């Protein structure tokens, strides 16, 4: 396969970026999208150019590091996967592919296709945990039975890999799906209920401070989420937030 | 309260609540309008009540206006923030792949409806205020039907009217069910709410359009 | 440095840890506020250690090269975490978990460490549940368990196929809580480039800010290395792309002994390499071997026809298939341990029976299981004489319920439907049992420098059991290190902050900068990946699943030559003072090129076969591993002497007082 790529290049956070055209040849269907970029980078290094920098790590869809907007969609044209799981057989010889970083004011570009997602870190730090010491001196794990349905729902919310596709897909760059997934995971468990009100208030406050947009319920986040996290979580967070605020 | 309104969720709830209020108001509005098709006298009677009952005039009307103003002002505020949340735009963005057009274009559909409201206010509300308070005309419980039907005589106004209600339909198609999600309702009733939303979003605007067309095609003979 | 002192407490096995905790020094809470600890790596071990120490009151600084602590590769662990809870009432106990782990490690680990691991394993589960980790539950609301390879009880706790991510998020939450309290300073996108010693003690690190390229000095009273394993030196592995040995290796070069570098685990069920472009291998859960049958064609010409696409595996008659595991190991069949299954696959492929275009794959076939389950299902549904298609359909449904997500993942990557045609699998590197040598307190041979998790060598001997890596990482971080580090830090309560303007920091920073500039100034012909791939090939072919003296000697020579060539001909574009992924990779590969040599030396030295280390010269007539307990019942601990080839071997004799050494047999 021969492909025409339009890729965002930006030297650093303070420089202006631009789209640059590249051609890559010898692409095979078995390659992952990132391996295709590896091939391009190898060519660039050979030619004495600087390779394109992009974030990636586990390359098996779980670490949440890779973050490319491909042809206008986060993680590319397939659903329920990350870029590293996207294979080139999804494209055809002669295709033009536009590759950009995830865009949001809260996710500034560090270099080329690499973005700074520390906003997510700060949201988690504001309350994405159960405040229990790690001494191990807690009750026996089976002392509190948890309804299987609740446990499963909590797990489904907890599968979020923190990649930021929800923000990237949202026309408003809203981080509601991400934040609500964490709020939900704990709100659904008895261990997390104790400080549920503080948690949701603090996490939402931090989310707003980071400059993400507002949720307009378009549902794009749910469609593009590699883990299929449900909009139900956003409704749950809204509910939690309203009751927490009403309680004062 | 002001701290509460700084939160994105609270702002969204304000949008949802004011929107739902307007949704309910639309039912009242369409019911009265429908009377104009059925029986001019009932229409005149209801309209007169609405126009002169102090409770309606000095309590409900301000609330309604406030509802409209809050809804669109907040809509613009949120839209402004949303635009700012992505300062560098995508070169290529395919929103159509993951979200329906209506949900992505609420500001457009809402904006058109708002523009129409301007005309609507000019046609009816300003007219009423002028009639009652500026010109201080005496009460006339029989004037409403003819005045209303006369408005639909020109083709341009009827066409504008229809376009606006098509856009209102699109606005409701997303907005009605969406307001429940915003207020935290997403459960076993959600599919039902969504279905009802679709029926509502088609039936109500269609009724308005029907009334407009009806009067346009059946002008009052002078 | 003299004899290795493992500092194992005296007394009966089951009482050692309690006794030790009672006897070691403590630091009072007010003094802890004056003590700084650096933790390098934020996987399960690093995050849990950082959070626990911050809770105790120490000032903790964490470092990770990822953009978030949550992305450490612990996140990729699928199967589960072992604990001797005995919730199933199937006879599990601390002793049984201890025994299984010692035996699984082929008697090359320390009894006392392993017993402690088993002892604290229950606490891990309690702790994680309290933190809100959503483990799988039964309908009664209690925790569910499943069984894993190599053991006779059900002791594995799990969260679907994401146990690693859920446990890491639990520890990450604990870290975030301490960041929010100001007790942890998190340094993401930072890489440790060197350890700084002051008066022979670990007193800080030199780190590079990977965004700005700035070289930073960070001081502390103790340093914890929890940076994971070094399996990425094989280039192709199930490790994440960024996994590296830099922190551990540079600590080694500063004086910490490196233990058992040749002990590597090769997992038998991974998706095979599809071509030269491949960057990474994906694991398919071990659980698939419960229902899948492994085979290759019996005839070479059939294998060739399949490779060339002239023959489909489903067209091959039953009698033309070689179910080699069932043939060789009738008792355990397809469920032999990982090391045995991996070696057997390699043996068949080397003999020319491989089934994909590269010739390095075997089949994992579910058709028998589909048929069996289908018949069963049809029978219970009352369809006494169901036709073939119905049986197949029903069978596929059962298999989908059990392994659906794995089958889907396979299909995404390989683009073949594993319900209709057998899966192709091949072994891949996925864990290193070797690592920094540590004593019972998890301290390396450098005072004040600790190591936890996969980065140390401690608990798994020559082979790790499934679902034990998560257990060890969290045991070290939550329950061992926070105690034992206090014993050392008790002497530091009056030390005060460690200055970073000392000559030792100056020197370390200078050396680091010189190395970076040297890498950039070579401006040679070949990319970093070129060398990494070449190293990987040498490692895989000569230090992989089976090793021999000749190959190992060649490997030592070839790696040294490759390293020399690297330092002459590598091309690293860009600058040192900005984000530069090629420069990051170059530093990591430079270290791999050194540890690779030590790895081969260790494998050459160990003239026996045990666990993941198989020396062709030392096997039984049936081709099974032949351990030599008389001469090699020791931990090899290597001391750095300026070059890998000059490293000096120290031996820590392993004493077995509670278990009897036996030969493993799976026939």
CB A85 within 8 A of CB C412: yes
Which position has the token pair 């590269």?
A: C358
Eight-state DSSP code of residue C547: B
Give per-residue pLDDT as tens, C633-648.
999 999 999 999 999 9
A84, A129, A162: residue with CB nearest C68: A162
CB C467 within 8 A of CB C79: yes
Eight-state DSSP code of residue C146: B
For A40, the closest chain C residue by CA position comes to C277
For C76, the closest chain A residue by CA position comes to A62
Among candidates C459, C539, C550, C449, which has minimal Cα distance to C203?
C449
* For residue C5, pLDDT beyond 50: yes
* Residue A37 contacts C, CB cutoff 8 Å: no
Alpha carbon distances (Å) from C229 to B157, C101, C400, C435, C538: 75, 19, 34, 7, 19
SS3 B177: helix
Question: According to the model, what pLDDT value does residue C1 have?
Answer: 46
**C394 lies in the same domain as C513:** no
A62 contacts on C by Cβ (under 8 Å):
75-76, 162, 164-165
A50, A63, A78: residue with CB nearest C71: A63
CB burial of residue C159 (10 Å; 0-12, 13-18, 19+): buried
A215–B7 C-beta distance less than 8 A: no
As a residue count, chain C comes to 667
Domain end residue (candidates: C395, C429, C463): C429
Question: According to the model, what pLDDT value does residue C405 have?
Answer: 76
**C513 lies in the same domain as C409:** no
Task: Evaluate whether residue C484 is within a structural domain.
Answer: no
Parallel, antiparallel, or unpaired for β A114-115 and C215-219?
unpaired
Question: According to the model, what pLDDT value does residue C576 have?
Answer: 96
A31 contacts on C by Cβ (under 8 Å):
275, 277
Task: Evaluate whether residue C339 is within a structural domain.
Answer: yes
B82, B95, B182: residue with CB nearest A238: B182
Residues of B with CB under 8 A from a CB of A: 4, 6-13, 78, 81-82, 84-95, 97-100, 103-104, 106, 174, 178, 181-186
Interatomic CA distance for residues A52 and A111, integer angstroms? 9
* For residue C61, pLDDT beyond 80: yes
Is residue C217 part of the annotated active site? The answer reads no
Q: How confident is the model at residue C150 (pLDDT cuts 50, 70, 90)?
A: low
A106, A109, A241: residue with CB nearest B9: A241
User: What domain range includes position C379?
Assistant: 269-429
Q: Please state, as a whole number, how many other Cβ atoms lie within 10 Å of the Cβ of residue C631.
A: 9
* Residue C533 contacts A, CB cutoff 8 Å: no
Q: How far is B49 from chain A (nearest CA, A)?
A: 38
C307, C338, C343, C547: which one is catalytic? C338
Interatomic CA distance for residues B59 and B66, integer angstroms? 11
CB A186 within 8 A of CB B52: no
A139 contacts on C by Cβ (under 8 Å):
126, 130
Q: How confident is the model at residue C205 (pLDDT cuts 50, 70, 90)?
A: very high
Among candidates C8, C71, C20, which has minimal Cα distance to C484?
C20
CATH code assigned at C507: 1.20.58.100
What are the backbone angles phi and psi of residue C292, rounded to the nearest 5°?
A: -90, 145
Residue partners of B221: CB distance under 8 A and separation at least 6: none
* For residue C221, pLDDT beyond 70: yes
- CATH value of A3-111 in 1.20.140.10, 3.40.630.30, 3.40.1360.10, 3.10.20.30: 3.10.20.30
Share of chain C above pLDDT 70, in %: 99
**C284 lies in the same domain as C409:** yes
Question: According to the model, what pLDDT value does residue C291 have?
Answer: 85
CATH code assigned at C301: 3.90.700.10
Interatomic CA distance for residues C17 and C11, integer angstroms? 10
* For residue B222, pLDDT beyond 60: no
For B94, the closest chain A residue by CA position comes to A72
* For residue C2, pLDDT beyond 80: no
Give per-residue pLDDT as tens, B16-37.
999 999 999 999 999 999 999 9
Comparing B125-139, B166-180, C493-507, C639-653, the range with the smallest average pLDDT is B125-139
Rg of chain B over all Cα atoms, to the nearest angstrom: 20
Q: Please state, as a whole number, how many other Cβ atoms lie within 10 Å of the Cβ of residue B189.
A: 11
Mean pLDDT score across all residues of chain B: 93
Give per-residue pLDDT as tens, C249-269.
999 999 999 999 999 999 999
Interatomic CA distance for residues C548 and C14, integer angstroms? 40
Interatomic CA distance for residues C364 and C421, integer angstroms? 9
Arithmetic mean of pLDDT, B205-216: 96
Among candidates C592, C540, C536, C1, which has minimal Cα distance to C249?
C592
Q: How far is A246 from chain C (nearest CA, A)?
A: 25
Parallel, antiparallel, or unpaired for β A73-74 and A68-70?
antiparallel
Cα torsion C101, C106, C108, C112: sign = positive
Q: How far is A216 from chain C (nearest CA, A)?
A: 28
A229 contacts on B by Cβ (under 8 Å):
none
* For residue C94, pLDDT beyond 70: yes
* Residue A227 contacts C, CB cutoff 8 Å: no
CB C611 within 8 A of CB C663: no
Token pair in block for residue C202: 């670990």
Mean pLDDT score across all residues of chain C: 94
Interatomic CA distance for residues B94 and C317, integer angstroms? 50
Cα torsion A100, A106, A108, A114: sign = negative
CB A120 within 8 A of CB A167: no
Is the complex ipTM more than 0.95? Answer: yes
A51–C581 C-beta distance less than 8 A: yes
Arithmetic mean of pLDDT, C45-63: 98
Residue partners of A54: CB distance under 8 A and separation at least 6: A34, A37, A66, A68, A112, A113, A114
C52 contacts on A by Cβ (under 8 Å):
134-135
DSSP secondary structure, C458-494, as one string: -S-TTSPPTT-HHHHHHIIIIIIHHHHHHHHHGGGTT
Cβ within 8 Å of B, A 5-24: 6, 8, 19
Q: How far is B34 from chain A (nearest CA, A)?
A: 33
Interatomic CA distance for residues C540 and C273, integer angstroms? 13
* Residue A96 contacts B, CB cutoff 8 Å: no
C-alpha C362: how far from chain center:
24
H-type alpha helices, chain B? 2-5, 8-38, 40-52, 54-55, 61-84, 101-104, 106-120, 127-129, 144-151, 155-182, 190-217
Token pair in block for residue C489: 């830090």
Parallel, antiparallel, or unpaired for β C435-436 and C258-259?
antiparallel
CB C65 within 8 A of CB C190: yes
A219–B98 C-beta distance less than 8 A: yes
B92 contacts on A by Cβ (under 8 Å):
69, 71-72, 98, 100
When divided into structural domains, chain C yields a total of 2
* Residue A242 contacts B, CB cutoff 8 Å: yes
SS3 C103: helix
Cβ within 8 Å of A, C 109-128: 120, 123-128
* Residue A56 contacts C, CB cutoff 8 Å: yes
Interatomic CA distance for residues C224 and C482, integer angstroms? 11
Alpha carbon distances (Å) from C409 to A61, C118, C201, C419, C529: 10, 33, 48, 13, 27
Among candidates A135, A100, B179, which has minimal Cα distance to C51?
A135
SS3 C40: strand
pTM: 0.96
Interatomic CA distance for residues C243 and C227, integer angstroms? 8
Arithmetic mean of pLDDT, C156-182: 95
A78, A84, A129: residue with CB nearest C173: A129
Interatomic CA distance for residues C174 and C482, integer angstroms? 14
Parallel, antiparallel, or unpaired for β C36-40 and C59-63?
parallel
> Residue A59: left (phi > 0), alpha (psi -120 to 50), or beta?
left
Task: Classify domain A117-130+146-247 at the CATH topology level.
Answer: Fumarate Reductase Iron-sulfur Protein; Chain B, domain 2 (1.10.1060)
CB C597 within 8 A of CB C559: yes
**C425 lies in the same domain as C291:** yes
CATH 3.10.20.30 residue ranges for chain A: 3-111
Q: How far is A134 from chain B (nearest CA, A)?
A: 33
* For residue C598, pLDDT beyond 80: yes
H-type alpha helices, chain A? 33-46, 118-125, 148-158, 165-169, 176-187, 190-193, 196-209, 220-224, 232-247
Task: Evaluate whether residue C135 is within a structural domain.
Answer: no
Token pair in block for residue A172: 């408003």
* For residue B2, pLDDT beyond 90: no
Task: Classify domain B7-86+100-217 at the CATH topology level.
Answer: 3 helical TM bundles of succinate and fumarate reductases (1.20.1300)
Share of chain C above pLDDT 90, in %: 85
Give per-residue pLDDT as tens, C334-360.
888 788 889 899 999 999 999 998 899
DSSP secondary structure, B111-164, as one string: HHHHHHHHHHIIIIIIHHHIIIIIS-PPP-TTSHHHHHHHHT-SHHHHHHHHHH
Interatomic CA distance for residues C595 and C538, integer angstroms? 13
CATH 1.10.1060.10 residue ranges for chain A: 117-130+146-247
What strands lie across the sheet with C258-259, from one edge to the other? C435-436, C258-259, C634-639, C648-653
Comparing A229-243, B126-140, C10-24, the range with the smallest average pLDDT is B126-140
Cβ-Cβ pairs closer than 8 A, A with C, add up to 213
* Residue A80 contacts B, CB cutoff 8 Å: no
C137–A151 C-beta distance less than 8 A: yes
* For residue A61, pLDDT beyond 90: yes
Token pair in block for residue C99: 């025994």
CB C412 within 8 A of CB A82: no
Q: How far is B37 from chain A (nearest CA, A)?
A: 37
């Amino acid at each position: 396969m021969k492909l025409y790529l339009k890729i965002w290049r930006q030297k650093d956070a303070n420089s202006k970026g631009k789209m640059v055209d590249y051609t890559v040849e010898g692409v095979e269907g078995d390659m992952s999208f990132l391996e295709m970029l590896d091939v391009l980078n190898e060519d660039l290094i050979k030619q004495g150019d600087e390779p394109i920098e992009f974030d990636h790590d586990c390359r098996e869809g779980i670490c949440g590091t890779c973050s490319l907007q491909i042809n206008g969609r986060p993680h590319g044209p397939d659903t329920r996967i990350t870029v590293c799981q996207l294979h080139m057989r999804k494209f055809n010889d002669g295709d033009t592919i536009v590759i950009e970083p995830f865009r949001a004011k809260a996710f500034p570009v560090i270099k080329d296709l690499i973005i700074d997602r520390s906003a997510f870190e700060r949201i988690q730090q504001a309350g994405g945990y159960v405040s229990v010491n790690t001494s191990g001196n807690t009750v026996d794990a089976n002392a509190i039975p948890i309804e299987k349905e609740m446990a499963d729902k909590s797990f489904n919310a907890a599968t979020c890999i923190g990649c930021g596709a929800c923000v990237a897909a949202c026309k408003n760059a809203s981080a509601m799906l991400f934040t609500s997934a964490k709020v939900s995971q704990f709100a659904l468990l008895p261990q997390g209920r104790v400080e549920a009100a503080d948690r949701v208030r603090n996490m939402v406050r931090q989310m707003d401070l980071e400059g993400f947009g507002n949720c307009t319920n378009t549902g794009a986040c749910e469609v593009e989420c590699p883990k299929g996290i449900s909009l139900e979580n956003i409704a749950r967070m809204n509910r939690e937030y309203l009751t927490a605020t009403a309680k004062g | 309260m002001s701290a509460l309104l700084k939160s994105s969720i609270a702002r969204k709830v304000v949008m949802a609540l004011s929107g739902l209020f307007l949704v309910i108001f639309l039912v009242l509005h369409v019911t009265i309008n429908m009377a104009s098709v059925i029986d001019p006298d009932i229409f005149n009677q209801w309209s007169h009540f609405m126009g002169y009952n102090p409770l309606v005039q000095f309590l409900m009307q301000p609330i309604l206006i406030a509802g409209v103003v809050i809804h669109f002002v907040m809509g613009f505020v949120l839209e402004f923030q949303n635009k700012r949340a992505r300062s560098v735009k995508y070169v290529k963005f395919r929103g159509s792949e993951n979200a329906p057009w209506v949900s992505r274009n609420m500001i457009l559909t809402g904006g058109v409806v708002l523009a129409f409201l301007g005309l609507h206010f000019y046609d009816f509300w300003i007219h009423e205020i002028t009639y009652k308070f500026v010109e201080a005309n005496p009460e006339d419980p029989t004037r409403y039907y003819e005045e209303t039907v006369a408005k639909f005589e020109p083709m341009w106004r009827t066409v504008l009217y229809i376009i606006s209600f098509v856009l209102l339909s699109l606005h409701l198609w997303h907005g009605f069910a969406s307001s429940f999600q915003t207020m935290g309702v997403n459960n076993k009733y959600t599919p039902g709410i969504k279905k009802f939303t679709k029926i509502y979003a088609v039936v109500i605007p269609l009724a308005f359009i029907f009334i407009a067309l009806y009067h346009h095609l059946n002008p009052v003979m002078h | 440095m003299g004899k290795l002192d493992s500092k194992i407490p005296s007394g009966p096995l089951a009482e050692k840890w309690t006794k030790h905790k009672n006897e070691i020094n403590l630091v009072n809470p007010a003094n802890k506020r004056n003590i700084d600890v650096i933790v390098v790596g934020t996987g399960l071990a690093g995050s849990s250690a950082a959070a626990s120490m911050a809770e105790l009151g120490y000032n903790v600084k964490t470092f990770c090269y990822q953009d978030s602590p949550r992305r450490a590769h612990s996140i990729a662990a699928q199967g589960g975490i072992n604990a001797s809870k005995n919730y199933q009432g199937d006879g599990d106990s601390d002793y049984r978990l201890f025994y299984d782990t010692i035996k699984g490690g082929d008697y090359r680990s320390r009894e006392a460490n392993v017993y402690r691991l088993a002892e604290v394993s229950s606490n891990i589960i309690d702790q994680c549940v309290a933190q809100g980790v959503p483990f799988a539950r039964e309908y009664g609301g209690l925790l569910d368990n499943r069984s894993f390879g190599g053991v006779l009880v059900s002791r594995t706790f799990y969260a679907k196929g994401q146990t690693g991510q859920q446990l890491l998020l639990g520890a990450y939450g604990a870290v975030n809580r301490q960041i929010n309290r100001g007790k942890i300073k998190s340094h993401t996108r930072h890489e440790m480039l060197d350890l700084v010693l002051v008066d022979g003690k670990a007193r800080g690190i030199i780190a590079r800010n990977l965004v700005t390229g700035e070289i930073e000095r960070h001081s502390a009273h103790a340093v914890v290395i929890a940076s994971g394993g070094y399996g990425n030196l094989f280039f192709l592995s199930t490790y994440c792309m960024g996994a590296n040995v830099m922190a551990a290796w540079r600590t080694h070069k500063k004086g910490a002994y490196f233990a058992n570098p040749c002990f590597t685990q090769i997992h038998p069920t991974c998706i095979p390499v599809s071509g030269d472009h491949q960057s990474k291998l994906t694991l398919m859960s071990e659980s698939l071997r419960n229902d899948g049958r492994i085979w290759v064609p019996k005839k070479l010409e059939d294998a060739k026809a399949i490779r060339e696409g002239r023959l489909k595996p489903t067209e091959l008659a039953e009698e033309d298939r070689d179910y080699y595991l069932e043939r060789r190991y009738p008792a355990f069949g397809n469920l032999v341990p990982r090391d045995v299954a991996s070696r057997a696959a390699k043996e068949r492929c080397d003999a020319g029976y491989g089934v994909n275009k590269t010739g390095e794959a075997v089949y994992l076939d579910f058709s028998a299981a589909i048929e069996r389950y289908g018949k069963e299902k049809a029978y219970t549904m009352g369809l006494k004489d169901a036709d073939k298609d119905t049986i197949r359909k029903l069978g596929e449904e059962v298999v989908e319920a059990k392994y659906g997500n794995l089958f889907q993942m396979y299909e995404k990557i390989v683009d073949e439907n594993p319900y209709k045609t057998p899966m192709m699998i091949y072994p891949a590197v996925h864990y290193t049992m070797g690592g920094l040598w540590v004593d019972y307190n998890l301290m390396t041979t450098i005072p004040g420098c600790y190591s936890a998790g996969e980065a140390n060598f401690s608990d798994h001997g020559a082979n790790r059991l499934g679902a034990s890596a998560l257990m060890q990482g969290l045991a070290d971080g939550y329950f061992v290190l926070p105690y034992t580090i206090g014993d050392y830090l008790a002497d530091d309560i009056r030390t005060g902050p460690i200055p970073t303007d000392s000559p030792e920091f100056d020197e370390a920073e200078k050396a680091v900068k010189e190395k970076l500039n040297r890498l950039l100034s070579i401006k040679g012909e070949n990319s970093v990946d070129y060398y990494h791939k070449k190293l990987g090939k040498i490692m895989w072919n000569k230090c992989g699943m089976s090793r021999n003296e000749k190959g190992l000697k060649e490997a030592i020579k070839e790696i040294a030559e490759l390293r020399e060539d690297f330092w002459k001909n590598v091309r690293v574009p860009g600058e040192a003072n900005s984000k530069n992924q090629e420069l990051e990779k170059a530093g990591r590969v430079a270290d791999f090129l050194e540890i690779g040599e030590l790895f081969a030396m260790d494998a050459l030295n160990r003239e026996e076969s045990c666990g993941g280390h198989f020396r062709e010269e030392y096997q039984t007539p049936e081709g099974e591993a032949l351990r030599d307990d008389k001469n090699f019942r020791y931990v090899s601990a290597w001391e750095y002497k300026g070059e890998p080839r000059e490293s000096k071997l120290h031996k820590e004799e392993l004493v077995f007082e509670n278990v009897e050494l036996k030969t493993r047999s799976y026939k």
